[in-house]
Amino acid sequence: MRIFKFGGASVKDADGVKNLVRVLNEVGHEDTLVVVSAMGKTTNAMEKVVDAYFENKNGVNGAIHEVYEYHHNILKVLFEAETHPVFERVKTLFEEVRGFLMWNKSPKHSFVYDQVVGYGELVSTTIVSAYLEKAGIKNQWLDVRDLIKTDSNYRDAHINWERTQEAVQQQVDTKQLNITQGFLGSDDNNFTTTLGREGSDYTAAILAYCLNASSVTIWKDVPGVLNADPRNFKETQLLHQISYREAIELAFYGASVIHPKTLQPLQRKEIPLHVKSFLDPTSGGTTVGKGVEISPEVPCFIVKKNQVLVKLSSLDFSFIVENNISEIFKLLHDHRMKVDLIQNSAISFSVCFDNKFGGLENLLNELKKKFKVVCHEDVSLYTIRHFDDKALESLQNGRTVLVEQRGKQTLQLVVK
């Protein structure tokens, strides 16, 4: 069985859904499981629903209606008559969102977030499945929450591999086309969990691992894995073949084309990963597999924006050693900070991280009890794999470098 994953950009409108059908007709859809993300920027829009729920309850219905109208307009293009059952199914899904927000008693933001935001994927797959049927392609719609079982670490759930393996093998018919959602799972109480933003790639890898799939293909709006994000860099190059190790390195440092967790389950079973263009489905794209390396080696540029750099120093000029560092990392863990770079000397410690859960203020208050703290917000972390002098100069030009760190193959700069 093959696993295909289509991201939000590939199904952002009616033409995108039609193109998905074209891709499946061109490359085949037998014995295939298709993972589909929320349409376009729906996840962002559903996050606004959650924000309204906590900050301005009068705005909740309007925020939901805006998302509903977006999908309703796509439906009107794809289906001739609003009497088609898919219209009612989509309407019911949005009524479920309203219902949850009416009876919910939990004050926990992350819990509410997962129960609400995940409807983007449920709606998109409902539409795609119905349109495939209309196009004459029979398929089975699956609720991925019945397949992927997790703990209750909302917004960044961890997989229960044993239960997930059992559920996937029991419920997925490998002899037909299946449509399911990315990004989602469920905990022991059957509440929805999410695997982290952009987690649909990871979903595809989990399902591939559990099904012993022959391959995973991620369909993107780029021709494959490039040596830099074309939105941030000019003159990018396609990497035709790279190893699991190199792909994991690139993903870890923030290459947006592959989710960081995706490669590990695939590597364990040596399942090849293809990254291809949904605009040109027969082109070669990039293959990630065993034993292949970047050839020739070219500098690979990665940038993470909107990062936070915190520089700590001891109040009494004492050394920052093991007990201090362990305490710092415990605070970073407790406040759910994703650490991307650390650098330390005898009396100082610098850490660059992503404040995606909004705990920065509380973290700083804790750190200030024991350290002198300097905080730089809205910095960018640049990483260059296989760097050379020219690559370094291109990043330093016109920027203030706050931290520089070099390894044998990797250079990282925190810049303002």
- Residue-wise pLDDT for 205-247, tens only, equals 999 999 999 999 999 988 998 888 888 888 888 989 988 888 8
Give the confidence band of 114 by pLDDT, cuts at 50, 70, 90.
very high
Inter-residue contact 346 to 382 (CB < 8 Å): no
pLDDT for position 294: 60
Inter-residue contact 215 to 266 (CB < 8 Å): no
Is the pLDDT score of 260 beyond 80?
no
From the CB of residue 361, how many other CB atoms can be counted at a distance below 10 Å?
Answer: 10
pLDDT for position 123: 98
pLDDT for position 394: 81
- Residue-wise pLDDT for 282-298, tens only, equals 999 999 998 766 654 78
3.30.2130.10, 3.40.47.10, 1.10.1070.20, 3.40.50.300: which CATH number matches 300-415? 3.30.2130.10
pLDDT for position 290: 82
* Higher-confidence position of 69 and 231: 69
Token pair 């190199």 is at which residue? Answer: 246
Inter-residue contact 319 to 359 (CB < 8 Å): no
Where does CATH 3.40.1160.10 sit in the chain? 2-213
Cα radius of gyration (the chain): 23
pTM of this prediction? Answer: 0.83
Where does CATH 3.30.2130.10 sit in the chain? 300-415
pLDDT for position 295: 52
Look at residue 201 and give its three-state secondary structure: helix
Q: At what angle do helices 60-78 and 42-55 cross, to 10 degrees?
A: 160
Mean pLDDT, residues 167-193 taken together: 96
Give the confidence band of 350 by pLDDT, cuts at 50, 70, 90.
very high
Q: Distance between CA atoms of 104 and 399, rounded to whole angstroms? A: 47
Looking at the chain, the whole-number percentage of residues with pLDDT higher than 90 is 74
Mean pLDDT, residues 10-19 taken together: 97
- Quote the tokens at residue 115: 């129960």
pLDDT for position 390: 84
Residue numbering of the annotated binding site: 231
pLDDT for position 184: 98
Name residues whose C-beta falls within 8 Å of residue 344's C-beta, 6 or more positions apart in sequence.
320, 325, 350
pLDDT for position 259: 75
Q: Distance between CA atoms of 203 and 201, rounded to whole angstroms? A: 5
Is the pLDDT score of 110 beyond 60?
yes
pLDDT for position 298: 85
Q: Which one-letter DSSP state was computed for residue 409?
A: S
To the nearest whole number, what is the mean pLDDT of the chain? Answer: 92
Q: Judging by DSSP bridges, how do beta strands 2-6 and 215-220 pair with one another?
A: parallel
pLDDT for position 265: 94
Residue numbering of the annotated binding site for ATP: 231
CA distance readout (Å), 378 to 306, 354, 397, 415, 416: 4, 10, 19, 9, 8
Inter-residue contact 11 to 29 (CB < 8 Å): no
Strand arrangement, sheet containing 241-243: 140-141, 178-181, 32-36, 2-6, 215-220, 273-277, 286-289, 241-243
Is the pLDDT score of 267 beyond 80?
yes
- Residue-wise pLDDT for 307-336, tens only, equals 999 999 988 877 887 778 889 999 999 999
* Higher-confidence position of 185 and 416: 185
* Higher-confidence position of 224 and 179: 179
pLDDT for position 393: 82
pLDDT for position 293: 62
Class of domain 2-213: alpha beta
- Residue-wise pLDDT for 131-156, tens only, equals 999 999 999 999 999 999 999 999 99
**H/E element, 230:** none
- Residue-wise pLDDT for 351-385, tens only, equals 999 998 889 999 999 999 989 999 999 999 999 98
Amino acid in the structure at residue 69: E
Burial class (CB in 10 A: 0-12, 13-18, 19+), 232: middle
Inter-residue contact 204 to 35 (CB < 8 Å): yes
Burial class (CB in 10 A: 0-12, 13-18, 19+), 344: middle
Give the confidence band of 403 by pLDDT, cuts at 50, 70, 90.
very high
Inter-residue contact 183 to 200 (CB < 8 Å): yes
Q: Distance between CA atoms of 126 and 138, rounded to whole angstroms? A: 13
Is the pLDDT score of 275 beyond 80?
yes
Q: Which one-letter DSSP state was computed for residue 157?
A: P
